[in-house]
Chain A
Amino acid sequence: MTNPKGRFGTHGGQYIPETLMNAVIELEEAYDRYKEDPEFQAELTELLNEYAGRPSRLYFAERMTNDLGGAKIYLKREDLNHTGAHKINNVLGQALLAKKMGKTRLIAETGAGQHGVATATAAALLGMECLVYMGVEDMERQALNVYRMRLLGAEVRGVETGTGTLKDAVSECMREWTSRIEDTHYCLGSVMGPHPFPTIVRDFQSVIGKEIREQLMEKEGRLPDMLIACVGGGSNAIGTFYDFIKDGSVELVGCEAAGRGIDTFETAATINTGKPGIFHGMKSYFCQNEYGQIAPVYSISAGLDYPGIGPEHAWLHDLGRAKYVAITDEEAVQAFEYLSRTEGIILAIESSHALAYAMKVAPKMPKDRIIVVTVSGRGDKDVAAIARYRGEDIHD
């Protein structure tokens, strides 16, 4: 799917300072070597299974299915992974790769804190130093995760520039990597940034879709009709979709954060409101003004609060192979509350965007149809914020 320069259609590429070029070339060469190395793959599989708890469950949400009265709904339970989200799949892969490359230090950006926690975890496990950049706004929203990272031995540095959110944390990571390359790997958390990151992260996350195929085959003896996942940068979504891109009968739906609505300025729905651009190392779609200034996006979800989208998603959108819909804060919060009550599963507010779409479409689909929703993470981290959204002031 990728050409040698890391292009997905017109998207992707390597729009980064010259200072970083040899670092990404070195990373690409190392990745090409280790991805074919049985010993590396065996080591990674061992970590994923024994440490992270893979394979994650594919759970039939029977009460939800009956309540909605349409398509059968399965939940891919990435929330059950160690550290509570899909992020660990990618991080264990990258950290192991970095270690093989002789790097001793990991740096990472984080929005909701899940990728930061996963990176801090892998660093602790593999005996590496760890520095996480997080927007000050997000540190406030996700205070619990900040403490978790520190508990794991990582340094968390607050980013005050710009909007103090995920995009600013990514910018700060790029700046940090430019100043210290020799011993440092930038453990990018999503399918974004310069080549080879979108490809590497996708490959490490594609375990999600591969498992869905096997598990559903076992349970239902067939492919799903629709896959739904939330999209910020888009790593759990591409991980869910990738193995099914070739199966034309499987509908792929990415759910973006509409925030307060795609007709307002308080949105982070990139495909629905953005236009083509070049930022953070890649050509893709970005929320921006007429002069190409990146827009200060908004979502209740710190993990989807990003003005861009991974280049492979941009391409799937161009091709019409995947569909990208916008889900508002209110719809996501309702889904968050709905799954808690109906299935006893408190899912992340990010994943709630995917669930909200399933709640819209399932009732309109025949009962013999199958939807798989990826529950990318668990929602413990969001409980206080949701309470505040509902007007109840509780402390973390």
Chain B
Amino acid sequence: MTEISDAFTKGKAFVAFVTCGDPDLETTKSVIRSLQDNGADLIELGIPFSDPTAEGPVIQAANTRALSGGVTTDSIFSMLEEMSGEIKVPMVFMTYANVVFSYGTERFVGRCKDVGIKGLILPDVPYEEREDFAPYCEKEGLSLISMVAPTSADRISMIAKHAKGFIYLVSSLGVTGTRSEITTDIGSITKIIRENSGTPVAVGFGISGPDQAKKMAVHTDGVIVGSAIVRIIEKYGRDAPVHVGEFTRSMKDAVKDL
């Protein structure tokens, strides 16, 4: 079985996000295969939520498309069961606290383990509230991913010390979505993280193309791209997997040898 740490052993990592069920789960399956075939090191699978407060318009729209298509937490687990053994790239879920909580955290985490999910990203669960989820994750060997933001300041060391899997460094203020410019001093934040933790750091929010990815990857162990991929899926629908693959290849090529 591959672990999250394996994602950071082939040069700088390219972490790809996709909303499950956008526009349907068959497409998601093909996108996952295409991501794996084209060099993605870690795959973040978004379980859609009706009111994703940390997302910008692009991923909000993907959540709406997926939910109107009828996708549920259970159908996403079933999709992963069907793909069992096929995906060697480590995968984590990204969703909101209520999706996990309402399913029953213990039951949810148990099913994650069964289908090979290695971690959980919950953007509305900060350090202070991790006790609702972390003990269940630890019991089943899942990493509850910690996030560090440009505003974290004196909180960085505390967060870093307890981090598991990888650290999700939020590149900018605001919600997810591509940006023309990222002004946060990624280098100095990463430096504080490194002084407190050996956990790999991947930076996300607003990274749209290879040039920006390079700039961000220099200071970190990898880049996370969500909205740019979701936009390709929005544009091409069921024909998206091949285009997502091309994009993934270009991004991995841009960052791997930095």
Question: Which residues of A are interface residues toward B (Cβ below 8 A)?
Answer: 5, 13-23, 161-162, 167-168, 171, 174-175, 178-181, 275-281, 286, 288, 290-294
Which residues of B lie under 8 Å from residue A178 when comparing CB positions? 54, 173-175
Chain A residue nearest to B152 (CB atoms) is A18
Cβ contact within 8 Å between A19 and B149: yes
Chain B residue nearest to A307 (CB atoms) is B51
Known: A16-B126, A17-B126, A23-B151. A275 touches B53 (CB 8 A): no
Cβ contact within 8 Å between B152 and A21: yes
Cβ contact within 8 Å between B124 and A292: no
Cβ contact within 8 Å between A277 and B98: yes
Could you tell me the distance between the alpha carbons of A14 and B53 in the complex, rounded to whole angstroms? Answer: 14
Taking the complex as formed, is B127 at the interface, i.e. its CB lies under 8 A from any CB of chain A?
A: yes
CB distance from B20 to the nearest CB of A (A): 12
Cβ contact within 8 Å between A22 and B152: yes
Known: A18-B170, A294-B50. A288 touches B152 (CB 8 A): no
Cβ contact within 8 Å between B102 and A292: yes
Which residues of A lie under 8 Å from residue B98 when comparing CB positions? 277-279, 286, 288, 292, 294
CB distance from A157 to the nearest CB of B (A): 14
Chain B residue nearest to A278 (CB atoms) is B97
Contact check: which of B60, B102, B149 meets A290 at CB < 8 Å? B102
Cβ contact within 8 Å between A180 and B51: no
Which residues of B lie under 8 Å from residue A181 when comparing CB positions? 151, 173
CB distance from A107 to the nearest CB of B (A): 14
Which residues of B lie under 8 Å from residue A281 when comparing CB positions? 124
Could you tell me the distance between the alpha carbons of A42 and B155 in the complex, rounded to whole angstroms? Answer: 35
Taking the complex as formed, is B148 at the interface, i.e. its CB lies under 8 A from any CB of chain A?
A: yes
Question: Which residues of B are interface residues toward A (Cβ below 8 A)?
Answer: 49-51, 53-54, 56, 60, 67, 72-74, 96-103, 123-129, 132, 147-155, 159, 170, 173-175
Which residues of A lie under 8 Å from residue B159 when comparing CB positions? 18
Cβ contact within 8 Å between B147 and A175: no
Cβ contact within 8 Å between B73 and A5: no
Which residues of A lie under 8 Å from residue B101 when comparing CB positions? 276-278, 292
Known: A278-B98, A279-B98. A292 touches B173 (CB 8 A): no
Contact check: which of A21, A180, A276, A277 meets B126 at CB < 8 Å? A21
Known: A175-B174, A178-B175. A291 touches B103 (CB 8 A): yes
Contact check: which of B50, B126, B128, B173 meets A179 at CB < 8 Å? B173
CB distance from A42 to the nearest CB of B (A): 33
Cβ contact within 8 Å between A292 and B103: yes
Taking A19-B170, A178-B54, A178-B175 as known contacts, 11 extra A-B pairs with beta carbons closer than 8 A to each other, sorted by chain A number, are: A14-B128, A15-B129, A17-B126, A21-B149, A23-B151, A180-B173, A276-B101, A277-B102, A279-B98, A288-B98, A292-B98
